Amino acid sequence: MGEPALCDRIVASSGWQVSKQLGRGQYGTAYLVCWNEEKCGEERKGQHPNGDQAVAKVVGLEYLPEKEHNLAFQEVELMRALRHPHIVALRDHFLTEASLELIIVMEYCNSGDLRGEVKRRTQAADLIPEPQIMTWFVQMTLALNYMHQRHILHRDLKSSNVFLTTSPRGDGEFDVRIGDFGISRVLEGTIDVAATVVGTPYYMSPEVCKAEPYGYKSDIWALGCVLYEMCMLKHAFEGQSLLGLVYKIVSETYEPIPPQYSADLRTLIDDILEKSSSKRPSGLELISRAYVKRFDVLGQAEKDAKELRHVKGIEPLDSKPEPVSTPPRAQVPTHSPGPKVEKVVEATPQPAEDPPVRREWRAPPFVSKPAPQHSLPEHELCARVLLSRVRRGLQARRQNWLQVFVSYAWLQKRSLFTFFLKIFF
């Protein structure tokens, strides 16, 4: 249900009443909420149908570092700019009393997430049929392509961020929607790249694992990992440790998918999970393939392309293709009272458009600077050395801090051990 004080602040600030907690993540807690017309303010009445359900992501701001604070508000701005049938829609957002929390109210997907569907089918030993896999893949590709065309990099695409909801077509099927834009990033241009290592380890691309700059093709790699997961009901790359997982992603191959799936699907996975990002297809190239096009039954790719042309001012949103007309010809009259000449109207040639100019990215010149020299007091230097040894011990032995300190005490390190305890205790 959530904390009573938090629930009261939410309903008092908006009219959304908390029903239950759905989950907790690194950047916030998700609650199922419903609209209460009686408890909302007069200025908010009629904004939503009474009893309407949604998901409220609660981000505590009181003790949030500045970087995460900015990311929370960036998520709101990104969701406001994204309007696509396969992206979770923003319903509302507001701050609670005294700005203690940011509440992001999103569309409620009533059938869970794709990760839950994979787990359910794993327990039942029931593989997902290829038409269903490809329908969901096309919907995810369309959503990613929509974001990339607007210079938005998701950076955390995974099966638990792909949500299932009942299809509005009324055929009893499910559609997918991509959500959770907490660590997404806006790239200023088509050749810009990001360099921060973020995301879930199972879905990290080789360029991210190698700490290289990455771009939209990193999202495509994650999409390929989700596609493989739907086919095999397990991750494409798994390891006992993070280092082992990174090695497999960078250097090793994955297990082939079951033979019941078509050769076209196997080829699609091989192309997407290409180690080299330059050889990996883009979202636009994927959706242009004949095999993939077969599963875009509603023609959403053409709708997205038309909307993009409208956004760029190339054509109106409701425009229809005009018939091609030939230049009018001169008409010769059969009888004429006098000399009369009719002019031939020629079509005015259209000037050729200038080809788009591609900006070349060049690395800034490297300037070597001497490392700054800092002088530390002896007691602070000793404390830092001890902390470094403790950290290494924790990583190597997988022990808690108390076991590490005891081991150092038995190793006749009593002087530093006692000094550290005097400082902190």
Hey, which residues are catalytic here? 156
Q: Which residue has the tokens 């869970």?
A: 112
Rounded distance, CA 175 to CA 85, Å? 9
Rounded distance, CA 89 to CA 52, Å? 14
Rounded distance, CA 349 to CA 82, Å? 39
Q: Which residue has the tokens 């992001």?
A: 104
Rounded distance, CA 314 to CA 5, Å? 52
17 Cα distance to chain centroid: 28
3-state secondary structure the chain: CCCHHHHHHHHHHCCEEEEEEEEECCCCEEEEEEECCCCCCHHHCCCCCCCCEEEEEEEECCCCCHHHHHHHHHHHHHHHHCCCCCECCEEEEEECHHHCEEEEEECCCCCCEHHHHHHHHHHHCCCCCHHHHHHHHHHHHHHHHHHHHCCEECCCCCHHHEEEEECCCCCCCEEEEECCCCCCEECCCCCCCECCCCCCHHHCCHHHHCCCCECHHHHHHHHHHHHHHHHHCCCCCCCCCHHHHHHHHHHCCCCCCCCCCCHHHHHHHHHHCCCCHHHCCCHHHHHCCHHHHCCCCCCHHHHHHHHHHHHCCCCCCCCCCCCCCCCCCCCCCCCCCCCCCCCCCCCCCCCCCCCCCCCCCCCCCCCCCCCCCCCCCHHHHHHHHHHHHHHHHHHHHCCCHHHHHHHHHHCCCHHHHHHHHHHHC
Query: Please, is 401 exposed, middle or buried when counting C-beta atoms within 10 Å of its C-beta (0-12, 13-18, 19+)?
Result: exposed
Rounded (10°) angle between helices 216-232 and 130-149: 170
